[in-house]
A and B are shown apart, each in its own frame.
Chain A
């Protein structure tokens, strides 16, 4: 992992250089901060009254299930910003592309959006695989991507703003909570077999063993899409863990919870904490199969604050009463707002200036549905972790809220 920390040091140095070079620019721009100021557009699709952005999510293929909500939220935010008068006096126009659940397509469409359409920012990607595929394009063409999903961390690109939680923000507080509240000492880790669950479990194991003084009695990965959990459930029964810690995704997730219930393992007998179930997944799993189990996320639809009440109402007005809002959907909603704040602070749509403004660490949203968030110089958000207990109707009751947690995409001692 030494290459990772090297690259981080490199970023640090580059950031210093950029910050210095941005200084005079900032002074010049500060003097022009009136709304109709002619923006430095450097070839972007910006006219006197419009600015064009891209939305890049999967509308077809397996990931369409998850990504639909994210692009709906982004469109809602953009609509609301336009109703308020747009950004720097310009209305936002959207060009939407379909990533089609195919990672090379994400790279190809990113190039199209940046080179042909010259969009000022892109809101998009969902899986880490799609982000990794699009990343070289964004870095080469100097584009700006707002990425909404909670993910495994270990990444920090100049050209990406991460609006979801990185792994430590999501994992550590949840484990602390379950250790304290449920007196948990032994943990059984189970996940789907790909990068995100494996990285998350690595962090979880270190925290359990080194910080909490607990014991991991089993660690298990199932192939993506696998629907047979009989043997695993028996293994868990044999080990009798205090907590099952789960990161199973996609169709497997549904099979996993249905079979747990069928095997008589319910919340009455067993504590289960998962990092891969949001309101979106519950639609497929069924609230009755999850009742009493816990999810750790930064946002739940049931959160009771004025921002969220307004957000849920606006979302349902735009996308229908049946729609549900999961963690990633809310994080996607933050993207356009964070971009607006950074652009207005920079006074221009120019990517370097917007990134420099974002990296000053003082861009905050007081109107975020999840509550207050602030952008950290490392491109991630300060956010709170929340534990939700699932109810039969598919909504969660928030039983624990942490303090504001600093994002740490390269956690020391956890790699």
Chain B
């Protein structure tokens, strides 16, 4: 490592560490919603990416409206747009469950096809409404730029923002699933649907709200990612592969698994990428995943669902 001082190496090390954590938070935020839907309901939601795009477009819409009508509100709109993205995607998810998915619970492969069809419909709707070009909301100034703890270290603010949001969402999901009575009912339904119905849990309602919650979180993720990338009609398809990778590797029914899997994939990817090229890093990460899944087909954390 000739030619570099210890300060420089330390700075790079710190920033590289943050790059890994930042990727971890992105992957986790993408996967949380899917983990709830896939893990708790067994529904393979191919339209997950489009619900993220719906959240992103909501943010874009609110940004343009704010800029036109109440420019003074610009610095604050982003926080509200995340809540709005959650609500919009949640309501869309609620409707999708009511119209489409509830009829197909007994036919898992058909849900896969149906949600894929849904994703195509949503993509074309985005294209008709917002146009084919990619759009970006105007971000408030406080979200751009970087914090400099020392002269050499730049920590991106948007990365920290996504990290904060991920931590908050994860804690909220954990509270909801493991501490609230609603979560108890969700888990009961997951473990034994017939029995849950027998003890008076409205399992259909549980399904609908679980699906809506998963989609809502996807919408929030979409809103947060507008700080990192742009939004187009087919943005969702970029995310869906990574999202499934995280959930499947973690073990379908385990939220802990999802976190562990997001963390290991992110670290492997970002460390490898530092030493070899981006494409090769992806190849090695995926190869490792395949090999591990060959030996542990149920993922890192085994499913505890009684079928």
A complexed with B: yes
List residues of chain A with CB under 8 Å of any chain B CB: 60-62, 64-65, 68, 193, 219-223, 225-228, 230-235, 237-238, 251-252, 254-255, 258-259, 261-265, 280, 283-286, 288
Say yes or no: is B279 at the interface (Cβ < 8 Å to chain A).
yes
For B, the interface residue count at a CB cutoff of 8 angstroms equals: 47
CA distance A238 to B23 in the complex (A): 20
How close is B23's CB to chain A, nearest CB, in angstroms?
5
CA distance A283 to B16 in the complex (A): 30
A259 touches B278 (CB 8 A): no
Do A259 and B156 form a contact, CB below 8 Å, given A222-B279, A283-B133? yes
B278 touches A221 (CB 8 A): yes
Closest to B280 in A: A221
CA distance A228 to B262 in the complex (A): 14
Residues in A neighbouring B227, C-beta threshold 8 A: 258, 262
Could you give 10 example pairs across A and B, Cβ below 8 Å? Answer: A65-B133, A223-B282, A238-B12, A254-B230, A255-B228, A255-B230, A262-B158, A264-B145, A264-B148, A286-B138
Residues in A neighbouring B8, C-beta threshold 8 A: 238
B22 touches A232 (CB 8 A): no
Residues in A neighbouring B146, C-beta threshold 8 A: 262-264
Do A62 and B234 form a contact, CB below 8 Å, given A230-B22, A263-B154, A263-B156? yes
- Specify which of B144, B230, B232 is in contact with A262 (CB 8 Å cutoff): B144
Closest to B148 in A: A264
Say yes or no: is B136 at the interface (Cβ < 8 Å to chain A).
yes
Query: 20 more A-B contacts (CB under 8 A) besides A228-B270, A264-B148?
Result: A61-B234, A65-B132, A68-B133, A221-B278, A221-B279, A227-B229, A228-B269, A230-B16, A230-B156, A231-B274, A234-B16, A238-B4, A254-B136, A254-B230, A255-B228, A262-B159, A264-B146, A264-B154, A265-B154, A280-B133
Residues in B neighbouring A65, C-beta threshold 8 A: 132-134, 232
Residues in A neighbouring B225, C-beta threshold 8 A: 227
How close is A112's CB to chain B, nearest CB, in angstroms?
23
Do A68 and B278 form a contact, CB below 8 Å, given A231-B270, A251-B238, A258-B228? no
Residues in A neighbouring B136, C-beta threshold 8 A: 254, 258, 284-286
How close is B144's CB to chain A, nearest CB, in angstroms?
6
Closest to A237 in B: B12
List residues of chain B with CB under 8 Å of any chain A CB: 4, 8, 12, 15-16, 18-20, 22-23, 26, 124, 127, 132-136, 138, 144-146, 148, 154, 156-159, 225, 227-230, 232, 234-235, 238, 269-271, 273-274, 277-279, 281-282
Closest to A252 in B: B229
B134 touches A284 (CB 8 A): yes
Provide the main secondary structure of the chain A interface. Answer: helix
A68 touches B132 (CB 8 A): yes
A232 touches B278 (CB 8 A): yes
B133 touches A235 (CB 8 A): no
Residues in B neighbouring A233, C-beta threshold 8 A: 19
Residues in A neighbouring B22, C-beta threshold 8 A: 230
Residues in B neighbouring A235, C-beta threshold 8 A: 274
CA distance A162 to B9 in the complex (A): 48
CA distance A325 to B12 in the complex (A): 40
Closest to A220 in B: B277
Most buried by B among A62, A193, A255: A62
Residues in B neighbouring A228, C-beta threshold 8 A: 23, 26, 269-270
Do A258 and B229 form a contact, CB below 8 Å, given A222-B278, A286-B136? yes
How close is A206's CB to chain B, nearest CB, in angstroms?
19
Most buried by B among A65, A221, A288: A65
A226 touches B278 (CB 8 A): yes
Do A251 and B235 form a contact, CB below 8 Å, given A222-B279, A234-B16, A259-B156? yes
How close is A23's CB to chain B, nearest CB, in angstroms?
47
CA distance A222 to B12 in the complex (A): 21
Most buried by A among B16, B132, B154, B278: B278
- Specify which of A225, A255, A262 is in contact with B157 (CB 8 Å cutoff): A262
